[in-house]
């Protein structure tokens, strides 16, 4: 992917001073207490960013707009792999995906998605998560996006245990069509893959 603060007001009892000329002067002084302020007077950051995240995710989940994902290419960084390894790896990630998306009031893209494709070893790799991109409009009908995805995947070489991911996203879009890509970082001989897919919005 916040400290919460609460203020409590403590008030001492107030003693009413009776006027000497008043009939009440002969009666004992009466203590008047003021109820303490509610502990619920927390700052507006109580819900803050987390409530905003929940609201955005809820609106995206409730969206009635759908899009199709078609994996196109996985490129292994030639500086991080030997020529022999590159020759062994699959770079045609045949697969398919589906998602629910929306554009918010600022025109930014949000989506829940799931996709499955062939990984570098020709094994099926599923991935599912939430994506967000800030969108710019450089020309009529064209959109450029940059953001991130929070997701989980599973791979055969890791026993298909769930693996959490936070990855960058960039896209170029026109009308209902988009090309979107992410870069999976890593070390020498591991990761360092540029993964690209197409999106078609219904």
pLDDT tens across 59-90, in order? 999 999 999 999 999 999 999 999 999 999 99
Print burial letters for 166-188: b (CB count within 10 Å at least 16), e (below 16): ebebebebeeeebebbbbbeeee
In a domain, 184, yes or no: yes
pLDDT tier, 35 (very low <50, low <70, confident <90, very high otherwise)? very low
Does 130 score more than 50 pLDDT? yes
In a domain, 39, yes or no: no
In a domain, 122, yes or no: yes
Does 1 score more than 90 pLDDT? no
In a domain, 34, yes or no: no
In a domain, 4, yes or no: no
Q: Which residue has the higher pLDDT, 32 or 72?
A: 72
- Cβ neighbors of 147 (< 8 A, separation 6 or more) are 108, 109, 131, 132, 133, 134, 168, 169, 170
Query: CA neighbours within 13 Å on the CB side: how many for 136?
Result: 8
- CA 58 → CA 39, 86, 139, distances in Å? 29, 42, 31
pLDDT of 44 reads 55
User: What is the 8-class DSSP label of residue 190?
Assistant: B
Q: Are 159 and 182 in contact (CB under 8 A)?
A: no
In a domain, 31, yes or no: no
The structure's pTM equals: 0.76
In a domain, 24, yes or no: no
In a domain, 1, yes or no: no
Q: Where in the sequence numbering do the catalytic residues fall?
A: 76, 119-120
The count of domains in the chain is: 1
What range defines the domain where residue 183 resides? 57-201
pLDDT of 30 reads 43
């Amino acid at each position: 992917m916040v400290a919460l603060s609460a203020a409590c007001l403590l008030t001492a009892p107030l003693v009413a001073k009776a006027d000497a000329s008043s009939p009440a002067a002969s009666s004992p002084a009466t203590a008047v207490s003021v109820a303490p302020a509610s502990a619920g007077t927390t700052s507006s950051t109580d819900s803050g960013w987390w409530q905003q995240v929940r609201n955005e995710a809820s609106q995206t989940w409730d969206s009635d707009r759908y899009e199709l994902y078609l994996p196109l290419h996985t490129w292994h960084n030639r500086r991080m792999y030997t020529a022999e390894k590159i020759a062994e790896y699959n770079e045609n990630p045949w697969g398919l995906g589906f998602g629910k998306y929306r554009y918010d009031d600022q025109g930014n893209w949000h989506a829940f998605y799931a996709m499955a494709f062939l990984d570098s070893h020709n094994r099926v790799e599923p991935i599912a998560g939430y994506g967000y991109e800030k969108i710019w409009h450089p020309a009529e009908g064209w959109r450029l996006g940059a953001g991130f995805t929070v997701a989980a995947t599973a791979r055969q070489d890791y026993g298909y245990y769930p693996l959490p991911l936070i990855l960058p996203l960039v896209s170029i879009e026109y009308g209902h069509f988009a090309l979107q890509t992410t870069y999976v970082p890593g070390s020498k001989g591991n990761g360092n893959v540029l993964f690209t897919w197409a999106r078609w919005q219904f």
